[in-house]
């Protein structure tokens, strides 16, 4: 394919037009492959009944089509003729996100560990060296850590399971003894034990709501920090004394699956993409995905529901039925597939056999064309402003598209016989191209990204750079009990 750079070095829609060449049959041709009609036309079936939902959906397609068909922000294009990954701009955006906020951002005060996590995780995917943030992160989190265990949003705030998750993941991303040792593991164990409820689930803070985020975040921490599975004395879930963090948990997750096939925040709630990821990841922490997921969830309806969240022409995922695409679901829904495919096809599945269940190209096209902000950072959708949250989860979704994750329990797992070690068997397909496939195995169409658009892969369950999870767990395996 012809080079994507024009003479100015900045190819855009206009240079694409200038580069149109006259071919043998007298037709003017673009140097780029044609855009499949799937991404440039409205769905072939549309109801005549108009409601608020269909009106906003129409509006989104109207806003997205210019980005799918052209290059309104005049960004550099890749060899496929779509926006290249604006790596440097995104790096600058996330570095900025770690610095000062004006007073109007006071709401962030309760969730600062999330800001660290989204930014550091995004920077890691973009290939940045993060060493310079280590001391700064430790200082911040020391102030947010409570003596009763866990991290709050900052000094003087109650510990929160989600904040603790974001804090622990941030420390795991940076890695090293100093990061690991600053976590009061015993107190963390007691805090999480106190969040465990008799019905099997977890609350997110003392006296706060119980939902599936609590379960996923708590079990992630227990697994990474190699915490004991038995519950501390005083845990509300400790009735007979032999209960563990597992007790009733998969059954509780099972109750969160709705009649649609997707997963709700808690039993009875509407199916929602973010909670689907929490459910699948939590089950994949407890045991092998091909054992746990079919045992506790109805795979048939789950697959149908996840699949139906991918929209055309946008290419991205929505989070609920009849809702709009949003870049954050690139991860929340996009990240489900590696676990679900493992659940369906079993371990050690070779990716080159056309067993993908979703459109990786559709998602990557959506992220690259529609979700990159003009001046860096990624966003919900065109017309929205980029932020660290959407940047992190769009990039994680791009990882899900670009890499083929394989579950290899037999050869890989360094902690194979230890409890809560199921998630340490993931790798990316070690083919000649570092897990990157040259073409889509199912359809043989070429991927819509170039090598220079490739990210550093994140772990499909822990969502931190592949390898960093093994390091922190290995450190605490060696350390053993408190």
Partner 1 sequence: MSRYAGNIVWEGLAPIPQKHEGATPLATIAYKEEYVEAMSYLRAVMAVNECSERALSLTEDIIRMNPAHYTVWLYRCKIIFTLNKSLCNEIEWVNNISLKYLKNYQIWHHRQTIIDKLGSAEGETAFIDQMLEKDAKNYHVWSYRQWLVKRFDLWNQMELDFVKKLLEQDLRNNSAWNHRFFVVFGKPNTSAPTDKAILGREKTFAEEAIRKAPQNQSPWNYLRGIYRQSKESIVELSPFVREFCGINENDLVQSSHALDVFAEIHGDIPETQLMAAKALDLLAMRYDPIRVNYWNYRKRQIEDQTTVAA
Distance of CA 328 to CAs 239, 301, 333, Å? 39, 23, 9
Residue from 473, 468, 464 nearest 119 by CA: 464
Catalytic-residue membership of 329 = yes
Residues 6 or more apart whose Cβ sits within 8 Å of residue 345: 290, 355
Residues 6 or more apart whose Cβ sits within 8 Å of residue 230: 243, 244
Catalytic residue chosen out of the listed positions 238, 390, 459, 473: 390
If the CB atoms of residues 299 and 436 are measured against partner 1, the closer one turns out to be: 299
Catalytic residue chosen out of the listed positions 387, 389, 448, 459: 387
Q: Please tell me what DSSP assigns to residue 351.
A: G
- Are the C-beta atoms of 249 and 384 separated by less than 8 Å? no
Write down the least CB distance from residue 36 to partner 1, Å: 8
If the CB atoms of residues 95 and 456 are measured against partner 1, the closer one turns out to be: 95
Catalytic-residue membership of 380 = yes
If the CB atoms of residues 115 and 222 are measured against partner 1, the closer one turns out to be: 115
Catalytic residue chosen out of the listed positions 12, 184, 380, 470: 380
Write down the least CB distance from residue 128 to partner 1, Å: 15
3-state secondary structure of 428: strand
Catalytic-residue membership of 408 = no
Catalytic-residue membership of 387 = yes
Write down the least CB distance from residue 259 to partner 1, Å: 3
Instruction: State how far the Cα of 319 lies from the Cα of 317, in Å rounded to an integer.
Output: 7
Catalytic residue chosen out of the listed positions 217, 256, 278, 328: 328
Catalytic-residue membership of 181 = no
Instruction: State how far the Cα of 154 lies from the Cα of 140, in Å rounded to an integer.
Output: 8
Catalytic residue chosen out of the listed positions 320, 408, 456, 471: 320
Catalytic residue chosen out of the listed positions 16, 112, 160, 272: 272
Q: Please tell me what DSSP assigns to residue 249.
A: H
If the CB atoms of residues 236 and 467 are measured against partner 1, the closer one turns out to be: 236
Write down the least CB distance from residue 223 to partner 1, Å: 25
Catalytic-residue membership of 272 = yes
Catalytic residue chosen out of the listed positions 216, 329, 405, 407: 329
Write down the least CB distance from residue 269 to partner 1, Å: 5
Instruction: State how far the Cα of 25 lies from the Cα of 34, in Å rounded to an integer.
Output: 17
If the CB atoms of residues 135 and 375 are measured against partner 1, the closer one turns out to be: 135
Residue from 147, 143, 91 nearest 112 by CA: 143
Write down the least CB distance from residue 52 to partner 1, Å: 5
Write down the least CB distance from residue 109 to partner 1, Å: 6
Catalytic residue chosen out of the listed positions 74, 87, 323, 384: 323
Name the one residue in this structure whose structure tokens are 């940076």.
174
Bridge partner residues of 405 (DSSP): 428
Residues 6 or more apart whose Cβ sits within 8 Å of residue 456: 124, 125, 126, 127, 465, 466
Element (H, E) at 56: helix 52-69
- Are the C-beta atoms of 334 and 400 separated by less than 8 Å? yes
If the CB atoms of residues 149 and 152 are measured against partner 1, the closer one turns out to be: 152
Here the tokens at position 413 are 């797992």
Instruction: State how far the Cα of 444 lies from the Cα of 435, in Å rounded to an integer.
Output: 17
If the CB atoms of residues 149 and 287 are measured against partner 1, the closer one turns out to be: 149
If the CB atoms of residues 305 and 424 are measured against partner 1, the closer one turns out to be: 305
Catalytic-residue membership of 320 = yes
Residue from 171, 462, 157 nearest 331 by CA: 462
Residues 6 or more apart whose Cβ sits within 8 Å of residue 327: 316, 366, 367, 370, 371, 378, 379, 380, 381, 390, 393, 394, 397
Q: Residue 132's CB: how many other CB atoms inside 10 A?
A: 9
Catalytic-residue membership of 456 = no
Write down the least CB distance from residue 3 to partner 1, Å: 30
Which positions are catalytic? Answer: 272, 320, 323, 326, 328-329, 380, 387, 390
């Amino acid at each position: 394919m012809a080079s994507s750079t024009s003479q100015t070095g900045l190819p855009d829609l206009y240079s694409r037009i200038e580069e149109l060449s006259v071919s043998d049959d007298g037709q003017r041709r673009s140097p780029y492959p044609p855009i499949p009609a799937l991404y440039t036309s409205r769905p072939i079936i549309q109801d005549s009944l108009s409601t608020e939902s269909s009106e906003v959906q129409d509006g989104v397609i109207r806003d997205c089509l210019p980005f799918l068909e052209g290059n309104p922000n005049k960004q550099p294009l890749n060899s496929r003729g779509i926006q290249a990954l604006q790596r440097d701009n995104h790096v600058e955006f996330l570095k900025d996100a770690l610095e000062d906020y004006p007073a109007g951002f006071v709401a962030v005060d309760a969730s600062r560990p999330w800001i660290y996590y989204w930014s550091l995780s995004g920077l890691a995917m973009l290939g940045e060296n993060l060493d310079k943030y280590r001391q700064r992160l430790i200082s911040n989190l020391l102030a947010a850590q409570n003596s009763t265990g866990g991290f709050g949003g900052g000094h003087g705030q109650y510990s929160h399971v989600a904040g603790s998750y974001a804090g622990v993941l941030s420390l795991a991303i940076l890695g090293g003894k100093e990061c690991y040792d600053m976590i009061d593991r015993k107190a963390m164990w007691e805090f999480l034990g106190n969040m465990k409820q008799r019905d099997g689930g977890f609350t997110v803070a003392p006296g706060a709501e119980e939902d599936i985020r609590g379960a996923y975040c708590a079990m992630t921490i227990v697994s990474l920090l190699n915490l004991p599975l038995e519950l501390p004395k005083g845990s509300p879930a400790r009735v007979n004394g032999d209960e563990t963090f597992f007790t009733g948990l998969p059954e509780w997750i099972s109750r969160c699956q709705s009649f649609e096939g997707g997963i709700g925040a808690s039993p009875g709630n509407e199916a929602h993409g973010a909670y689907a990821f929490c459910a699948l990841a939590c089950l994949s922490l407890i045991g092998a995905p091909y054992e746990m997921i079919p045992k506790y969830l109805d795979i048939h309806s789950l697959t149908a529901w996840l699949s139906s969240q991918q929209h055309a022409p946008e290419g991205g995922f929505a989070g609920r039925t009849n809702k709009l695409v949003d870049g954050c679901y690139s991860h929340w829904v996009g990240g489900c597939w590696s676990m679900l495919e493992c659940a369906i096809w079993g371990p050690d599945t070779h990716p080159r056999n056309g067993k993908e269940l979703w459109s990786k190209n559709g998602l990557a096209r959506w992220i690259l064309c529609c979700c990159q902000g003009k001046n860096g950072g990624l966003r919900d959708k065109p017309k929205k402003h980029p932020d660290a949250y959407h940047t992190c989860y769009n990039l994680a979704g791009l990882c899900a598209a670009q890499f083929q994750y394989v579950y290899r329990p037999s050869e890989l797992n360094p902690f194979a016989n230890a409890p809560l070690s199921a998630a340490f068997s993931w790798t990316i397909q070690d083919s000649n191209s570092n897990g990157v496939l040259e073409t889509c195995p199912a359809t043989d169409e070429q991927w819509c990204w170039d090598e220079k658009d490739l990210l550093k892969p994140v772990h499909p369950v822990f969502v931190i750079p592949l390898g960093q999870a093994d390091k922190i767990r290995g450190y605490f395996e060696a350390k053993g009990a408190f």
